Amino acid sequence: MSESILNALMRLFAVFATVQDENVSETGKNIVTSFLLRYLNKEDVIEEYIGLFHDYHDFYRREAASPVEDTGFQTSSLDAENISRICIQIRKELNSNERIIVLFRLIEFVYEDKLITDLEREFVKIVGEAFSIKGDELDNALLFIEEGKEHLIREDYTVVVQSEIPISIEELEGDWIDKNRPEQEYPNHILLKKGLQGEVFILHFKSLNGMVMKYVGPDILTIDGNLLDTSKVYFFGSGSIIRGSGFGAIYYTEVASRFLQSSEGIRITVNAEDIEFRFLNSDNGIRRFSFSEDSGQLIGIMGGSGVGKSTLLMLLSGQLPLTNGKISINNYDLHRDTFKLKGIIGFVPQDDLLFEDLTVYQNLYYNARLCFGYYSEFQLQEVVSTVMNELDLFEIKDLKVGTPLNKLISGGQRKRLNIALELMREPSILFIDEPTSGLSSMDAENVIRLLKEQTAKGKLVIANIHQPNSNIFKMLDKLWVLDKGGFPVYSGNPIDAILYFKKLSSFAEATEVECGSCGHVNPDQILEIVEAKLVDEEGKYSLERKISPETWYEHYQQNIAPEVTMKETKKILPSSLFRIPDMTVQFKVFFIRNLLSKISNRQYILINLLEAPVLAFVLAYFTKYMPGNEYIFSENKNLPAYLFMSVIVAIFIGMIVSAEEIIKDRKVLHREAFLNLSWFSYLNSKLLYLFALSAVQMLLYVLVGNWILEIKGMTLTYWLVLFSTAACANMLGLNISSGMDSRVNIYIIIPLILIPQLLLSGVTVKFDDLHKSLTSKVHVPFIGDLMISRWSFETLAVDQAKSNRFDKNFYAFDQMSSESRFKTSFLIPRLINKLEECNRNLGVEGDQELLRNNLELLSNEVEKLGSHEDLFEFEYLSKLNINDFYVEYSTELEDWLAYIRFYYMDLSRDASQRKEQAYTRLVDSLSSDAVFEMRQKYHNDQLFDQVTNRLEVEKILEVKNRLIQKSDPIYIIPESNLGRAHFYAPFKLFNNQLTDTKWFNITMLWGFSFVLYLALLLNLLRRIINFMNSFRLRKKS
């Protein structure tokens, strides 16, 4: 008997003696002493508690010295109010089980003389009500103590264990009669144990979920290894076993199930028939295993590391497919009837499923919103408050969860919060992986006690248990033991497991399972026996086991498996409150939950809001080139470098902020996928947040950078381009986050993406200077078109060069001049040279291959020149081939080229005149100085040189019998109708429509984002990686 119980009893005995208003006579002392002798066997301890009794009695007599008003129950000493107050003080020191024990010891004390007076009965009533035991339960307790009155207790409060009652009618004898005699039916509260002499009475306290027992009969019985005294009432708790020589054992589980059967609600039965599982290309998994278990049980799974405990839970919860066999829940197939079983199964993995930057309340609240789609706000808060109270989380509801390293709540509280997330939706079956791992002994017991309470509500709880202590072990209703290779080696009562393995291992004292004095057991013995090693010649333990897993499995097949029978059950399921909301509501919940999680992390917010402007300041400050004492924008030769680095910053920040978004939620996502929540809604909530964050970051970047470098009139364009770039990088980061297995892999792969963006952007290395297998002299090579940096930088450079406030006034005229200048100065002279080569190679002795190529080139270029709407075509174009070409056609072509040259010379003069007129108008409206100042503020010489390719020596290239212009790319209209173009093209041609480069490129960036979005929606990268891994495993096998 524990010290808290004995202390409480001495106080109550002293109060009772004070109520009777008598001095503690020798007779009274003898009654207390005789009571203590029944439970204690040390004289010095008995004397100590007798002294404590005297001290309490003296204290209460002094307290009751003054008279009080009548309260309905009053003696010359203490009144009911004072007695109740004292009992409430005592109650605060006792748990529910100890209250039951104290109450019964008190009743035994007052029943020492085999009579309970009205005064004693009233006193017991006051104590019982203070202990929250009242009404029928208190009356039952009094009847249970009084001899011969046990049968007066209502059947729904008691279970009577007895031997089979013989049928009292004359019957015919014979084998046929014995085989076909109908089975006698007994009421639910009768539990039959063949061979039991007498009766075992078990009383249930529903309010406190506890049981007591007493035995009436001649047999010698033990409870938890201790001899039963027929004059005593014993507490019958989790793991308790009553044993006798003639009938075997009475288990707590089979008694508790009787009370569950009598309660309301649909019972759950899980049948697993010959289930097996094998990992791909491996012998590991779960070997053939069958069981049939009802609700109202706490089943523990034990085994060494790597035996398949977690795998078994994944199988039973439907997260892994069976290789063989079938699992059914109330006759519904686990894998075929998943929709009908929705909400029935709950799963709590070993790892946390918590949002560490949210409070305890917020974690529960947003989980409730995703589980109860039709609940009102009041109902949601009521559900959250209920589960917080049940799991003792209310006091910490406003605390942030924190990380396992930066703990703000304890490990036990984290575990209870994880369990609360599942218990909230009231699943009928709960699977929990390692609920006690990493917890202190006390926290572990509290968690298992919590799970045990759930079984009292009719739930079936199956949990992996790692190194349970005695108290945890005895709370289990059933134990499964797995050995290496996934072999099941035991299924049955936990206490009997120790006995089972001891007997099979031929232990000398195999029947000694529990400590005789304290009733504790040593669960570690099970694995010590199962995994026992042989000793080598040197006396050291070898790697070889005494008994192999296969041998243990054979014992299991012989001794345990044949006794497993599938229970019959009705094909009906309990109703579930679990209803997931529609995708729109899920999207809102995901977004708000994610936003609150981010906002609560001040360091995260501070870094993300300051990172972009700080980088903008650093880049702009160091690239603010000043040749003199005064900064002039037009003379800043670092502007192209700044623009390029701005693009890289947008890509980098966009990937960094998104690269961990999914992988850090992966454990939660696994659970939410188990609940069939929407992946589509989750992704869109992430995208909305990331796009909003990127928009703010790029706006801050542009405002700071443009302010320092005095870039005017381009804020919206810069922001739009950099935001589109960052958004595309967000999609890249999310795909990486979804596909990679660890954060380390993510930060390894980011440089592999970023470096090609640097190299293949067309800035650090010109596209024409790439390896010949990659480059294309006509337009940007395909690999360059795959780089988002190419589209982003080109947009910024081209729009800054041609759409700034100064240059946009003259762009159209400069484009006409450029075209005319190229035609007259480079193209037509080169065509005349080619024509002269053709003339020289006419005839048998000429270079026919060169002639053929030159004529093809002339044909291509002449056809292109003649397609201009203001020019007429060359009449003898069809004769420009090696078979039809003659000298007279050469003369005609020279004249035609001269005509074309004159046309473009006139066009050039016209463009120059119109530009001069535009300039004059600008000067007239502003002034000459103002126009000059405008040029200095808006036009940049270095950027203009870059987009016009001014430093390029070769202005024209011959590629595949075509002449390609390399000068002034910003003025060249591309020819491809598919949108492909040279670098710095001012427009893109697609489907015969010319589109400004800015809008076309921005569209391309969002097109990339959309493709990446589809890949993310399909989880394509993850699937490819999984396929490659499985392919590699198949190849190895």
Q: What is the pLDDT of residues 944-956, one digit of tens each?
A: 999 999 888 888 9
- How much is the pLDDT for 887? 85
Residue 562 clears pLDDT 80, i.e. is over it: yes
Q: What is the pLDDT of residues 974-1005, one digit of tens each?
A: 988 999 999 999 999 998 899 999 999 999 99
Residue type, 851: L
Q: How far apart are CA 807 and CA 934, in angstroms?
A: 10
Q: How far apart are CA 359 and CA 363, in angstroms?
A: 6
Q: What is the pLDDT of residues 521-547, one digit of tens each?
A: 888 888 989 998 888 777 788 888 889
Which residues does 322 contact at the CB level (< 8 Å), separation at least 6?
275, 276, 277, 315, 335
Higher-confidence residue of 628 and 21: namely: 628
Ordered DSSP codes for 584-622? HHHHHHHHHHHHHHHHT-HHHHHHHHHHHHHHHHHHHHH
Answer yes or no: is 991 within a domain. no
Which residues does 427 contact at the CB level (< 8 Å), separation at least 6?
343, 344, 345, 346, 459, 576, 578
Q: With beta carbons less than 8 A apart as the criterion, state whether 285 and 296 touch.
A: no
Last residue of a domain, one of 534, 563, 592: 563
Helix, strand, coil abundance in the chain, percent, nearest 5: 55, 10, 35
240 with 280, same domain: the answer is no
Strands 429-432 and 460-464: parallel
Residue 199 clears pLDDT 50, i.e. is over it: yes
Q: With beta carbons less than 8 A apart as the criterion, state whether 521 and 474 touch.
A: yes
Q: Which residue has the tokens 């506890």?
A: 210
Answer yes or no: is 835 within a domain. yes
The CATH number given to whatever domain includes residue 187 is: 2.60.200.20
737 with 871, same domain: the answer is no
Ordered DSSP codes for 458-525? T-EEEEE-SS--HHHHHH-SEEEEEETTTEEEEEE-HHHHHHHHHHHTT-TTTT--S-TTT----THH
Answer yes or no: is 873 within a domain. yes
790 with 823, same domain: the answer is no
929 with 817, same domain: the answer is yes
Q: How far apart are CA 247 and CA 245, in angstroms?
A: 6
Q: How far apart are CA 495 and CA 410, in angstroms?
A: 31
Percent of the chain with pLDDT over 90: 43
Which among 340, 327, 251 has a CA at the least distance from the CA of 292?
327
Q: At what angle do helices 377-390 and 360-371 cross, to 10 degrees?
A: 130
49 with 106, same domain: the answer is yes
Determine which helix (DSSP H) or strand (DSSP E) holds 256, and give its type and residue range.
Answer: helix 252-262
Answer yes or no: is 172 within a domain. no
449 with 302, same domain: the answer is yes
Which among 18, 19, 48, 21 has a CA at the least distance from the CA of 33?
48
Answer yes or no: is 711 within a domain. yes
Residue 508 clears pLDDT 70, i.e. is over it: no
Residue 168 clears pLDDT 50, i.e. is over it: no
Which region among 633-647, 814-828, 833-847 has the lowest average model confidence (pLDDT)? 833-847
Q: With beta carbons less than 8 A apart as the criterion, state whether 252 and 259 touch.
A: no
The domain of 113 spans 1-134
Across the range 381-395, mean pLDDT stands at: 90
Given pLDDT bands bounded at 50, 70 and 90, which one contains residue 64? low
Q: How far apart are CA 313 and CA 303, in angstroms?
A: 13
- How much is the pLDDT for 68? 47
CA 536 to chain centre: 47
Which among 466, 457, 368 has a CA at the least distance from the CA of 420?
368
- How much is the pLDDT for 516? 60
Mean pLDDT of the chain: 86
Q: How far apart are CA 224 and CA 601, in angstroms?
A: 52
Q: How far apart are CA 970 and CA 49, in angstroms?
A: 102
Q: With beta carbons less than 8 A apart as the criterion, state whether 327 and 275 touch.
A: yes
- How much is the pLDDT for 607? 94
Q: How far apart are CA 617 and CA 915, in angstroms?
A: 38
Q: With beta carbons less than 8 A apart as the criterion, state whether 121 and 138 touch.
A: no
Q: How far apart are CA 422 and CA 409, in angstroms?
A: 19
383 with 465, same domain: the answer is yes
- How much is the pLDDT for 651? 97
Given pLDDT bands bounded at 50, 70 and 90, which one contains residue 267? confident
Last residue of a domain, one of 938, 960, 984: 938
- How much is the pLDDT for 443? 84
Q: What is the pLDDT of residues 913-934, one digit of tens each?
A: 999 999 999 999 999 999 999 9
- How much is the pLDDT for 584? 93
Q: How far apart are CA 192 and CA 197, in angstroms?
A: 11
332 with 435, same domain: the answer is yes
610 with 739, same domain: the answer is yes
Which among 833, 824, 977, 851 has a CA at the least distance from the CA of 905?
824
Which region among 70-79, 350-359, 447-456, 615-624 has the lowest average model confidence (pLDDT)? 70-79
Q: With beta carbons less than 8 A apart as the criterion, state whether 304 and 531 touch.
A: yes
Residue type, 261: Q
Which among 789, 766, 469 has a CA at the least distance from the CA of 650?
789
Answer yes or no: is 24 within a domain. yes
Given pLDDT bands bounded at 50, 70 and 90, which one contains residue 261? low
Answer yes or no: is 574 within a domain. no
- How much is the pLDDT for 70? 46
Identify the three-state secondary structure at position 862: helix
660 with 758, same domain: the answer is yes
Q: Side by side, which strands form the sheet with 332-333?
A: 285-294, 269-278, 324-329, 332-333
Cα pseudo-dihedral 757, 763, 764, 766, rounded to 10? 110
Across the range 816-820, mean pLDDT stands at: 94
Q: Which token pair is 67? A: 């008279």
- Residue 147 has a CB neighbour count (10 Å cut-off) of 9
Residue 632 clears pLDDT 70, i.e. is over it: yes
Over its C-alpha atoms, the chain yields an Rg (Å, rounded) of: 44
340 with 215, same domain: the answer is no
State phi, psi for 33 to the nearest 5 degrees.
Answer: -65, -45
Q: What is the pLDDT of residues 66-91, one digit of tens each?
A: 554 444 444 444 567 777 888 888 88
Last residue of a domain, one of 530, 563, 596: 563
Residue 263 clears pLDDT 80, i.e. is over it: no
| b (16+ CB within 10 A) / e for 924-934 | eeeeeeebeeb
Q: With beta carbons less than 8 A apart as the criterion, state whether 514 and 225 touch.
A: yes
Given pLDDT bands bounded at 50, 70 and 90, which one contains residue 701? very high
Which residues does 16 contact at the CB level (< 8 Å), separation at least 6?
106, 109, 110, 120, 123
- How much is the pLDDT for 173? 55
As for how many domains the chain has, the answer is 5
Q: What is the pLDDT of residues 273-298, one digit of tens each?
A: 999 998 877 778 899 999 999 988 89
Residue 517 clears pLDDT 70, i.e. is over it: no
- Residue 605 has a CB neighbour count (10 Å cut-off) of 13
3-state secondary structure 202-245: EEEECCCCEEEEEEECCCCEEECCEECCCCCCEECCCCCEEEEC
Q: What is the pLDDT of residues 833-856, one digit of tens each?
A: 999 988 888 876 778 888 899 999
What is the sign of the dihedral through the CA atoms of 189, 195, 197 and 200? negative
Q: Which token pair is 173? A: 């004898």
Answer yes or no: is 606 within a domain. yes
Q: How far apart are CA 716 and CA 803, in angstroms?
A: 12
Higher-confidence residue of 63 and 769: namely: 769
Q: What is the pLDDT of residues 863-919, one digit of tens each?
A: 999 888 888 888 888 888 888 888 888 899 999 999 999 999 999 999 999 999 999
Across the range 24-34, mean pLDDT stands at: 63
- How much is the pLDDT for 182? 53
- The counts of H helices and E strands in the chain are 35, 25
Q: What is the pLDDT of residues 446-492, one digit of tens each?
A: 888 888 888 888 889 999 988 888 888 888 889 999 999 999 999 99
Residue type, 718: Y
Q: Which token pair is 109? A: 């004390």
The CATH number given to whatever domain includes residue 352 is: 3.40.50.300
| b (16+ CB within 10 A) / e for 560-584 | bbeeeeeeebeeebbeeebebbeee
Q: Which token pair is 420? A: 């609360």
Q: Which token pair is 184? A: 């006698």
644 with 682, same domain: the answer is yes
- How much is the pLDDT for 1033? 59
